[in-house]
Structure 1
Amino acid sequence: MTIENAEGDRLLRNEWIICPNDECRKITLKAFLFRYDYEYGQYKIGELLKSWNLLPNSFAKVFPEYIPKAIRNDYEEAASILEQSPKASATLSRRCLQGIIRDFWGISKARLIDEINAIEDKVDPLTWKSIDAVRKVGNIGAHMEKDINIIIDVDRQEAFLLIELIELLFVEWYVHRHERELKLKAIAQLADIKEEQKKK
């Protein structure tokens, strides 16, 4: 579908995919808005101006249920509102991070900065700096500046980076811990089986 406006023609294109898995068959629907340029007597598709995830309405990944539901909900909501409000998305990422620290590390203090400082000696320096960055960017949406005339915005890419860090922490902290526990339990069970076989 083509759209005419004062800034030039636009082309709106839809793309849909049906999952080939017979048990799934879910539909993914996306929309793309392109510049539609007229050159040398013909139209051609120009740069991509914007894209939307229509179904599902979020790019959030599905994480295992052993990650607490409240934390996963905050992550999924941060991903779902990224396009509409990057600042609100960053605020939810901040909240999600606080939930992760309290659940995974068992640390609960009055302020998020105190909780982050409490894990500084438990994680590598780059991870800690990235975690503190989520706090700082999330604070833009969570707290108003003393001077209300100062407006600091958060753009889509910045909010997206925070979501990616949350995903990284899910994998490195929760998923890796779970997989480690499964492997260690399997080894312990194997030793028990061998002991029983020796007795017989």
Structure 2
Amino acid sequence: MGIEQYLCPNPDCKKMIFYLVWGVSWSSSRLRGMTGMTTDVKKRFLVYPKGSNRPPVPPQVPQNFAEDYMEACVVLPDSSKASAALSRRCLQSILRDVANVTPGNLANEIQQVIGSKTLPTHLVKALDMVREIGNFAAHPTKSEKTGEIIPVEPQEAEWNLDVLESLFGFYFVQPEILKSKKDTLNKKLKEAGKKEMK
């Protein structure tokens, strides 16, 4: 194991970039001022700076949900399992705090939301998939064929984040956009002496 460091090539940045490198053995010589790699890289983890290639959280999303989502995004390159577990936690928080389900296990909470018939069909179908992927992350499940623990794949963790973004749109972003448009229209209606929309 070793650490690689690079200077950002962007002339406006010029900050240091650090990677933790797995499967590498380093040798160094202070006299010669050189460092050399003696084995192959198995895996490389970005240590600093941390970031995500996902879009930023919309400003309408409350901070507690945004924090879980952003953390799930940032850990994804290092651990799809951790990302999926955080996505599952974020989903459960949204269901309890926004959809007002009775707290229990996540499967029952999802059934309550489905039973309320308040979500669009495409989101209803997606909710249980987030739970199942999150369960692979939170509860080690072994393959019946090989006996090995079934991993959470990066694309599954990405998909969980996509579902959370859709929920953010449904619960937070779209209602704010519609409210803003209605407020603008009501100003015009009032100016014209007409009845405002409720």
Fold in common (TM above 0.5): yes
Q: 1:184 deviation in Å?
A: 1.0
Q: 1:50 deviation in Å?
A: 7.8
- Superposed CA RMSD in Å reads 3.5
Give the TM-score of the pair, scaled to structure 2. Answer: 0.66
Count, aligned residues: 163
Structure 1 unaligned runs (5+)?
1-12, 20-24, 32-48
Asked if the contact 1:134–1:162 (Cα under 8 Å) also holds between the matched residues in 2, the reply is yes
Work out the percentage of aligned pairs sharing the same amino acid. 29
Q: What CA deviation, in whole Å up to 9, does each residue of 1:11-44 have, x standing for no partner?
A: xx9875578xxxxx8x8x899xxxxxxxxxxxxx
1:98-113 equivalence runs, <5 A: 98-113=92-107
Q: Which residue of 2 aligns with 1:68?
A: 62
Give SS of 2:51's match: coil
Which protein is richer in strand relative to its size?
Answer: 1
**Cα distance in 1 for residues equivalent to 2:47 and 2:148:** 32
Asked if the contact 1:53–1:59 (Cα under 8 Å) also holds between the matched residues in 2, the reply is no
Pair 189,75 (structure 1): closer, same or farther in 2 beyond 3 Å: same
Give the TM-score of the pair, scaled to structure 1. Answer: 0.66
Residue type of the alignment partner of 1:109: P
**Cα distance in 2 for residues equivalent to 1:18 and 1:189:** 48
**Cα distance in 1 for residues equivalent to 2:170 and 2:9:** 32
The structure 2 residue matched to 1:189, chosen from 178, 187, 195, is 187
Query: Is 1:82 aligned to 2:76, yes or no?
Result: yes
Q: Which residue of 2 aligns with 1:127?
A: 123
Asked if the contact 2:142–2:149 (Cα under 8 Å) also holds between the matched residues in 1, the reply is no
Residue type of the alignment partner of 2:73: A
Pair 51,69 (structure 1): closer, same or farther in 2 beyond 3 Å: same
**Cα distance in 2 for residues equivalent to 1:53 and 1:169:** 30
Asked if the contact 2:45–2:78 (Cα under 8 Å) also holds between the matched residues in 1, the reply is no
Q: Which residue of 1 aligns with 2:112?
A: 118
Residue type of the alignment partner of 1:173: Y
Residue type of the alignment partner of 1:108: T
Q: Which residue of 2 aligns with 1:139?
A: 135
